[in-house]
């Protein structure tokens, strides 16, 4: 059975189970929270080793071919362009359709939320280089930095590095095989994740105050990822079939939406790029590492849209055009600082917008969206992963690091 079909069946089955469960029961919610934590841990189990060794050997091979910096620059330009387009489109859509106001509730205490971009940079260079390999695996950028220096150093002297190169290459393939095994059983894992998602969605649906925002974000994400993004592929030369490409990314899309975690989706996306489209390891490892850290335009777009709704909930005055531009610019900058937040990027981003905009006037605004956090995160992660998929595919296609696959062999 195709991997995407396993994930689809698991999602539908879990969603049905979730709607049958009593969402008011705190005991049910506690059990589902524990199961979600276990499921996410299983899905992310092989992320760090497969990323470390795949990126190390990718950096080495690309440096040997004198193509590393060319590929990095191509990815950075694609990420920046995609982020700007998605955030701008989301803001325009939100202003045009204007979701309804959300009732303001009295807030007792703010949560301690901070992007702390400076700490992100410091943690990328810890005093002990090996310490990045023994963390929890949430913040993957320091691991990518480690793999970059190791890969570059393998070019030092082939007489000394040849045994290490062979070992790293072998470990990359071994851990890719392990990650592939976990992607085969993700259908069962998604039953748990989609069931808990449905329980929370059922509870929010009963509240009836977030309907407009839910519908607007849902429709926008579907049109963007299943309509607009594939159409951009028509500009590629040689031309590719955009709907065939979209079909090849259904698996990662389902994993991203119900997990709400980009690290959970990373091994699934890596496998689909390789086995559906023939994207070579040297290209996919570099592209996905950069996208994991910086391609969070979807989460930033969701945050910008939610923040506009928050402003309109606090005030009846229209939002001036300079303020709209400022919101978009702040959301774009925040999208490049979400690498430490693989599972709650949209919520962190909207909290950062609330605290940094207007001199603290809306500093508690994000708390009115707390019941909807799971949905904001799901939509943001879904768009993030789809952007990563398209950026990685386009980067590989335009640099020649791809081998065409027949659609009958898609996983």
Task: Express each pLDDT in 105-130 by its tens digit.
Answer: 665 556 667 777 778 888 888 888 88
The proportion of the chain whose per-residue pLDDT surpasses 70, expressed as a percent, equals: 97
Residue 405 has pLDDT above 60, yes or no: yes
Distance, in Å, from the CA atom of 139 to the CA atom of 276, rounded to the nearest integer, reads 28
CB contact at 8 A, 194 and 40: no
Distance, in Å, from the CA atom of 158 to the CA atom of 165, rounded to the nearest integer, reads 9
pLDDT for residue 108: 52
In total, how many domains does the chain have?
A: 1
CB contact at 8 A, 394 and 236: yes
pLDDT in tens, 62-89: 999 899 999 999 999 999 999 999 999 9
Q: What range does the domain containing 155 cover?
A: 3-409
pLDDT for residue 2: 86
| Alpha-carbon distances of 71 from 78, 235, 336, 381, rounded to whole Å | 11, 19, 19, 24
Tell how many helices (H) and how many strands (E) occur in the chain: 18, 0
Distance, in Å, from the CA atom of 411 to the CA atom of 403, rounded to the nearest integer, reads 16
pLDDT for residue 112: 63
pLDDT in tens, 317-342: 788 888 899 999 999 999 999 998 99
pLDDT in tens, 177-207: 999 998 889 889 999 999 999 999 988 888 7
pLDDT for residue 106: 61
pLDDT in tens, 129-149: 888 888 787 899 999 999 999
pLDDT for residue 206: 80
Which domain CATH number covers 50? Answer: 1.10.3860.10
pLDDT for residue 231: 87
């Amino acid at each position: 059975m195709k991997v995407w079909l396993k994930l689809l069946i698991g999602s539908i089955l879990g969603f049905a189970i979730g709607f049958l469960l009593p969402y008011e029961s705190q005991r049910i919610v506690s059990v589902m929270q524990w199961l979600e934590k276990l499921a996410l841990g299983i899905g992310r189990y092989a992320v760090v080793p497969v990323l470390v060794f795949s990126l190390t050997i990718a950096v080495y091979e690309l440096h040997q071919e004198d193509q590393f910096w060319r590929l990095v620059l191509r990815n950075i330009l694609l990420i920046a362009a995609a982020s700007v387009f998605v955030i701008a489109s989301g803001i325009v859509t939100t202003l045009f359709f204007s979701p309804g106001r959300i009732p303001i509730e009295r807030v007792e205490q703010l949560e301690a939320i901070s992007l702390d971009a400076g700490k992100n940079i410091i943690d990328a260079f810890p005093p002990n280089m090996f310490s990045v390999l023994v963390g929890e695996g949430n913040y993957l950028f320091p691991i990518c930095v480690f793999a970059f220096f190791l890969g570059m150093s393998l070019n030092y002297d082939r007489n000394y590095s040849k045994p290490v190169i062979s070992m790293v290459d072998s470990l990359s393939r071994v851990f890719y095989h392990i990650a592939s095994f976990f992607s085969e059983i993700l259908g069962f894992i998604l039953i748990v994740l989609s069931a808990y998602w449905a329980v929370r969605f059922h509870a929010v649906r009963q509240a009836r105050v977030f309907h407009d925002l839910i519908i607007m974000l849902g429709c926008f994400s579907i049109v963007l990822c299943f309509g607009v993004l594939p159409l951009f592929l028509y500009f590629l030369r040689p031309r590719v079939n955009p709907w065939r490409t979209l079909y090849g990314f259904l698996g990662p899309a389902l994993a991203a939406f119900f997990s709400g975690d980009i690290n959970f989706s990373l091994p699934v996306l890596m496998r689909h790029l390789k086995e559906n489209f023939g994207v070579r390891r040297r290209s996919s490892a570099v592209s996905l590492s950069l996208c994991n850290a910086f391609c969070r335009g979807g989460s930033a777009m969701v945050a910008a849209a939610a923040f506009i709704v928050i402003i309109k909930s606090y005030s009846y005055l229209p939002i001036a055009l300079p303020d709209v531009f400022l919101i978009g610019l702040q959301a774009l900058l925040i999208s490049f600082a979400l690498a430490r937040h693989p599972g709650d990027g949209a919520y962190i981003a909207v909290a950062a917008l609330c605290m940094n905009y207007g001199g603290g006037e809306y500093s508690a605004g994000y708390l009115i969206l707390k019941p909807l956090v799971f949905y904001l995160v799901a939509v943001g992660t879904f768009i993030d992963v789809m952007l990563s998929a398209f950026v990685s595919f386009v980067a590989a296609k335009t640099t020649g690091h791809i081998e065409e696959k027949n659609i009958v062999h898609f996983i």
